[in-house]
Amino acid sequence: MSQQDAELARVEEEVRAALAQRPDLAGLWAALGLVRIDRGDLAGGVEHLARAASLAPDDGRIQSDYGAALTTAGRAADAETVLCRALALAGGDDNLHFNLARSLHVQGRTDEALVALERVRERADDVLKLSGDLYKEKGDWQRAASDYFAALRLRPEHPAYLNDLGVLLELNGGAGEHLALWQRLTAEGDAHPVAWFFLGNALAAQSRMSEALAAYERATALDPDFAEALNNRALVLGKLGREDEALACLGRATEIDPGLVAARTNLGCILSRNNALAEAEAMLARAVALDPSSTDARVNYGALLMRQRRFPEAEALFRTVLAEVPGHPSAELNLGLLKLNRGELEQGWPYYESRWKMPQMAGKRPALGSPEWDGRPLDGRTLFVFAEQGFGDNLQFVRYLDEIHARFPSARVVFYALHQLVGLLGTCYRSDWCRVVPWGEPIPPHDAHIPLLSLPWRCGTGVATIPARVPYLGADPARLAPWRARLQAAPGLRVGLVWSTSETFIYRSAKTVALKTLEPLLAVPGVTWVNLQFGKEAEEIAALGWSGRFLDPMPEVRDFADTAALVDGLDLVISVDTAVAHLAGALARPVWMLDRYDTDWRWLPPREDSPWYPTLLIFRQEAFGDWTAVVQRAAAALHDLACRPQTAPLSPCKDSP
């Protein structure tokens, strides 16, 4: 028993002893009722206060306490009756007016509650807190914030007031709008953990992640069991690339508060990113069970189900969310990706436009004053098309510049291109109808604009109408000749290899295969291997002692124009799902793609060919994470190909092992 519990027990014993002597004293029954409530016995407390109220109908304080207890017990209408009767008898008692306001508030009678509260003369902190609650319900954010802040000034250590103010401010203008307030509150002596929590939120909203992390760490140092702060700390750690620490924070948060749905949802998302799909599903399913109304939990659970190819279950979740919250960005986007994945392109493109509502796309559009193109005829007009997303996306969809020209021959196109692609695209689209401008350069005059990946939607693309003519890109002849001369001296099949994708891709580990796993491929005789892998992953060659197995021209490659010239001289490219696979397909070079189980929508499972790239063949995982079987199939096909008298057919023979 704690010291406080012991003290309450002692007081109760003394009150009961006094009542044994004077059972007619209302004050003693009231005291017993209050102490029973403090000890957790609300029903007993209400019973004793009722006895006190019947003995002293004119005692405003006792009637007020009885009314307050009735409200707490869920009997707000009874409380109103008691309090109104007491006010008629006792007059303007602050406690009576305050508790009447509480009972009216609980009954949803906000305006009447405010009238009652205005009659309270002393603006104590609890009065200001209730006033803030009432004005928040009326939608008067400024008055509510003023009342919460006034309550906080009277009780600066009170966590509930900090929390009310913080939640209100974040709802009204966003977390980052009130950074100065939280900086001031955390600078005033021993700030409460809740103040540090909201400071972290404000800093995170402004993408000041290192400072936000420090604020959350301060909050959790002051209160190690602050589950919400641990959750938000984990989110920041994830953005800083420290996922192991994020997992530990979320694990701790769910231990402290098993019902914290946000922590379970975020933990499920990180587990999914780390390809622990069974654990992720258990966590997300539990989050949905705990709060079936949580849109975040349901959308993220649906995204996980999509990775497992459980499309009907995923679609049901997305559609349920959209029925409740029409236009929900993440639900719309995921439903669009699901439709695209199933080849329902015409239905998927409109939903895919919701990508621009997502936080990660903020600031990714150039500032433009022109209208967005809606598909109307462009004859004689100039369309400004701007790049978006990754290199592979741009290499795949730049074909639509030709589609626009074919549909509207008198139109002009300006393409705002990623810098690394300018050399390649500037060569391919050097014409009177198309101009390639590097991103960041002044934007030329134009009549309408459109993001690159919105062109398929506006062109009405379905699987049967994909513009599949290849090549639609070509290597610069001046760059091609030196590479071709070097490659022609290599014996056998000249095969380029890429085994790792961009570090920024959310499911990078699922897309990437360790070079060591590809040893059965590298053991196929009659092949000269050409490294096309860039970045630190290329160091795996030397680390494995395999430098003698590769020609490695990548140190000389400056941009995609060089890569295109190199790829154009190869007999075959074998790649995981990377920009190089797109480049080879756009150049109409034979390309075999080693694809993950949870494939990207554009590869249209279960197809092994691609309507986007006629020269591409897909070797896809049949079980999640199983690269071994994929490599074995590709090695058998390569062995068959290397033994043929003529090189560069697009697919293995029918009788390949």
Q: Would the pLDDT of 41 be above 90?
A: no
What are the pLDDT digits (tens) for 550-580?
999 999 999 999 999 999 999 999 999 999 9
Distance (Å, whole) CA 262 – CA 268: 10
- Report the range of poorest mean pLDDT among 98-112, 175-189, 313-327: 175-189
* Local confidence band at 98 (pLDDT 50, 70, 90 cut-offs): confident
Distance (Å, whole) CA 305 – CA 498: 28
Q: What is the number of other CB atoms lying within 10 angstroms of the CB of residue 643?
A: 13
Q: Which residue has the higher pLDDT, 311 or 141?
A: 311
Q: Domain range holding 549?
A: 477-642
Average pLDDT over residues 295-307: 98
Q: pLDDT value at position 132?
A: 81
Q: pLDDT value at position 505?
A: 61
**The token pair that represents 243 in the structure block:** 């996922």
What are the pLDDT digits (tens) for 15-30?
788 878 788 888 788 8
Number of domains, the chain: 2
Beta strands across the sheet bearing 382-386: 434-438, 412-417, 382-386, 448-451
Q: pLDDT value at position 561?
A: 96
Q: Are 339 and 310 in contact (CB under 8 A)?
A: no
Q: pLDDT value at position 514?
A: 95
Q: Would the pLDDT of 656 be above 60?
A: no
Same domain for 592 and 508? Answer: yes
Distance of CA 97 to the CA centre of its chain: 46
Distance (Å, whole) CA 331 – CA 324: 11
Single residue among 433, 465, 497 that ends a domain in this structure: 465
* Local confidence band at 504 (pLDDT 50, 70, 90 cut-offs): low
Same domain for 426 and 505? Answer: no
Contacts of the segment 101-104: beta carbons below 8 A, 24+ positions apart: 101/130, 101/134, 102/68, 102/71, 102/130, 103/67, 103/70, 103/71, 103/76, 103/77, 103/79, 104/76, 104/80
Distance of CA 601 to the CA centre of its chain: 19
Same domain for 540 and 638? Answer: yes
Q: pLDDT value at position 175?
A: 54
Which of 398, 448, 450 has the alpha carbon at shortest distance from 427? 398
Q: Would the pLDDT of 655 be above 50?
A: no
Which of 543, 426, 568 has the alpha carbon at shortest distance from 553? 568
Q: Would the pLDDT of 440 be above 60?
A: yes
Question: Is there a domain that residue 118 lies in?
Answer: no
Same domain for 514 and 623? Answer: yes
* Local confidence band at 189 (pLDDT 50, 70, 90 cut-offs): low
**The token pair that represents 347 in the structure block:** 């239905």
Question: Is there a domain that residue 309 lies in?
Answer: no
- DSSP bridge pairs for 497: 531, 574
Q: pLDDT value at position 648?
A: 44
Same domain for 453 and 493? Answer: no
Question: Is there a domain that residue 448 lies in?
Answer: yes
* Local confidence band at 96 (pLDDT 50, 70, 90 cut-offs): confident
Q: pLDDT value at position 579?
A: 96
Q: CA dist 382 to 316, 404, 408, Å?
A: 42, 11, 11
Q: CATH number of the domain that 625 lies in?
A: 3.40.50.2000
Same domain for 530 and 599? Answer: yes
- Report the range of poorest mean pLDDT among 181-185, 515-519, 594-598, 650-654: 650-654
Q: Which residue has the higher pLDDT, 201 or 63?
A: 201
Which of 354, 302, 337 has the alpha carbon at shortest distance from 602? 337
Single residue among 465, 486, 502 that ends a domain in this structure: 465
Average pLDDT over residues 542-546: 95
Same domain for 557 and 631? Answer: yes
Phi-psi region of 440 (alpha: psi -120 to 50; beta: other; left: phi over 0): left
Which of 598, 621, 209, 310 has the alpha carbon at shortest distance from 284? 310
- DSSP bridge pairs for 618: 593
Q: Would the pLDDT of 176 be above 60?
A: no
Distance (Å, whole) CA 567 – CA 563: 6
* Local confidence band at 651 (pLDDT 50, 70, 90 cut-offs): very low
Report the percent of the chain where pLDDT is more than 70: 95
Distance (Å, whole) CA 219 – CA 229: 7
Question: Is there a domain that residue 460 lies in?
Answer: yes
Provide the residue count of the chain: 657
Q: pLDDT value at position 503?
A: 66
For 251, what's the count of Cα atoms within 13 Å in the CB-facing half-sphere? 8
Average pLDDT over residues 79-95: 76
Q: Helix, strand, or coil here: 384? A: strand
Q: pLDDT value at position 174?
A: 58
* Local confidence band at 149 (pLDDT 50, 70, 90 cut-offs): confident
Distance (Å, whole) CA 324 – CA 335: 15
Q: Helix, strand, or coil here: 438? A: strand
Q: pLDDT value at position 157?
A: 66
Q: pLDDT value at position 91?
A: 67
Same domain for 617 and 575? Answer: yes
Report the percent of the chain where pLDDT is more than 90: 62
Q: Are 176 and 206 in contact (CB under 8 A)?
A: yes
Question: Is there a domain that residue 445 lies in?
Answer: yes
Question: Is there a domain that residue 143 lies in?
Answer: no
Beta strands across the sheet bearing 616-620: 550-551, 527-531, 493-498, 572-576, 591-595, 616-620
Sequence-separated (6 or more) residues with CB below 8 Å from residue 625: 275, 510, 597
Q: What residue has token string 């014409």? A: 431
Q: Output b/e per residue, 463-495; b: 16+ Cβ within 10 A.
A: eeebbeebebbbbbeebbeebbeebeebeebbb
Average pLDDT over residues 522-548: 95
What are the pLDDT digits (tens) for 235-260?
999 999 899 999 999 999 999 999 99
**The token pair that represents 145 in the structure block:** 């914030």
What are the pLDDT digits (tens) for 610-635?
999 999 999 999 999 999 999 999 99
Q: What residue has token string 């003290």? A: 7
Q: What is the number of other CB atoms lying within 10 angstroms of the CB of residue 292?
A: 10
Cα torsion for 13, 15, 19, 25, to the nearest 10°? Answer: -170
Average pLDDT over residues 87-93: 73
Alpha-helix runs per DSSP H in 325-372: 329-341, 345-352
Average pLDDT, whole number, for the chain?
A: 89
Question: Is there a domain that residue 394 lies in?
Answer: yes
Q: What residue has token string 């190819």? A: 309
For 309, what's the count of Cα atoms within 13 Å in the CB-facing half-sphere? 13
Distance (Å, whole) CA 71 – CA 79: 6
Same domain for 484 and 630? Answer: yes
Q: What sign has the CA pseudo-torsion 599, 601, 603, 604?
A: positive
Amino acid type, 128: L
What are the pLDDT digits (tens) for 461-476?
999 999 999 999 999 9
Question: Is there a domain that residue 82 lies in?
Answer: no
Distance (Å, whole) CA 191 – CA 179: 15
Among 103-112, 181-190, 478-487, 578-587, the range with the most confident prediction by mean pLDDT is 578-587
Q: Which residue has the higher pLDDT, 535 or 629?
A: 629
DSSP at 410 = T
Same domain for 456 and 539? Answer: no
Q: What residue has token string 């002849």? A: 477
Same domain for 441 and 497? Answer: no
C-alpha gyration radius of the chain = 34
Single residue among 465, 496, 513 that ends a domain in this structure: 465
Average pLDDT over residues 38-49: 83
Q: pLDDT value at position 373?
A: 98
> For residue 386, what is the enclosing H or E element?
strand 382-386
Q: Are 627 and 516 in contact (CB under 8 A)?
A: no
Average pLDDT over residues 94-114: 85
Same domain for 582 and 609? Answer: yes
